Chain A
């Protein structure tokens, strides 16, 4: 069984490495990249790489859930499951709050997100925070996908180490 600390170290290194990803495009790949303003190339590209790695992990985690855990009656039950069981299993703590407008939008708040803890608490590293949230956004989206729910997941930080994940269900 791999120690939880190993995942945190790996995640930090992935943020550093996939961030430094060479933006030289492969043949025919990611044409949209050329349409973005030059300054935002690196930024958008690398967040999407991290997000898609997280997505694959979220899918794989979802596939390994015991079948009885998946007898959800409704969408809100799925989100509660993510906030309690999934978060506890992955981060050894539960999400601090879950809010919804009951129309397919959910806000999951973690006041002390473990992957943000290594950064100094406070505002000075705020612009670095999205890099440390992209993987987890993908992970949530991937887990939801395996549970039959298509979503868009984004995250925001007001003050480290707290953050909010916004889940918008598609075709709700």
Chain B
């Protein structure tokens, strides 16, 4: 009992509340992503302060830090890194088990819900603060009957300091 359940149970109650507040799963997914982003842009400071990792020189180092340091620190799991693209700008995080879904079953009328979408927002927001524009999305989900949970990470571009993020 305690803080490991508190986060998981609170997250579940939040998703339940959002499903009541929004009419369709797509809107809930967007809201989770946005909230995750807001958390990520602040979580990165906590992470950098506590982990003492130095600047990553490439996306491969970034992947290692995400899987072996960040996920371990915050969620107590170490996803494996697989399926690198030839250009080295995409990889997958494979989560054998996802702590967020420990007590969760998706009800039948929420087949489009990406339950753990907060994580994608957190990754996106945190990496933006270290000058990386990335896309993160779930491509497999144990909640939907897949064998594992897989997050696909794609490097979009480096964010220069003098440009606002996202400007074309």
Give A residues with C-beta under 8 Å from B.
1-7, 9-11, 13-14, 16-18, 21-22, 49, 52-54, 56-57, 60-61, 64-66, 89-90, 92, 135
Contact = CB atoms under 8 A, between A and B. Distances in A.
Contacts of A92: 3
A18 B17 CA distance: 9
Given A13-B39, A53-B17, A5 B46 contact: yes
Interface of B: 1-14, 16-17, 21, 31, 35, 38-39, 42-43, 46, 73-76, 99, 103, 118
Contact of B3 (A2, A16, A18): A2
Given A2-B74, A2-B75, A2-B99, A64 B1 contact: yes
Given A9-B43, A56-B16, A17 B3 contact: no
A17 B74 contact: no
A53 B13 contact: yes
Contact of A61 (B5, B17, B38, B42): B5
A9 B17 contact: no
20 contacts: A2-B3, A2-B75, A2-B76, A5-B46, A5-B74, A7-B7, A9-B39, A10-B7, A10-B10, A11-B10, A13-B35, A14-B10, A53-B10, A53-B13, A53-B17, A57-B6, A57-B9, A57-B10, A90-B2, A92-B3
Contact of A17 (B8, B35, B75): B35
B74 A61 contact: no
